[in-house]
Amino acid sequence: MPEVILWTTAFCELCDEAKEHLQYACERLNTSYTCLDIVEYDEVFDALRHRIPVVEVAGHQLGWPFSKYQLVAWLTEVLTSRTDMV
């Protein structure tokens, strides 16, 4: 299964809300995720600093804003299409 990443940074209230949505979605889809701070990755920082929070799976990105229900639907689609390709 592809890795689910939440790109975030410190002191980001929207990132905290996105993390709650992602926890909800991952519980329903029986998967896990990793939080990564964009300041630790120069290339990612340059690309995402004005877009975070961003959820990424296998190169597909979903930027804020999104509801927990939209996130469940998006993850289902991305994870299913990746599984079908394997």
pLDDT tens, residue by residue, 54-83 = 999 999 999 999 999 999 999 999 998 855
How far apart CA 44 and CA 26 sit, in angstroms, is 23
Closest CA to 7 of 46, 48, 42, 43: 48
Q: Of 26, 20, 25, 15, give the one whose Cα is nearest residue 64.
A: 15
The pTM of the full predicted model, rounded to 2 decimals, is 0.90
Domains in the chain (CATH in brackets) are 4-85 (3.40.30.10)
User: How do residues 36-62 score in pLDDT, each as one tens digit?
Assistant: 999 999 999 999 999 999 999 999 999
Distance CA 23, CA 34 (A): 10
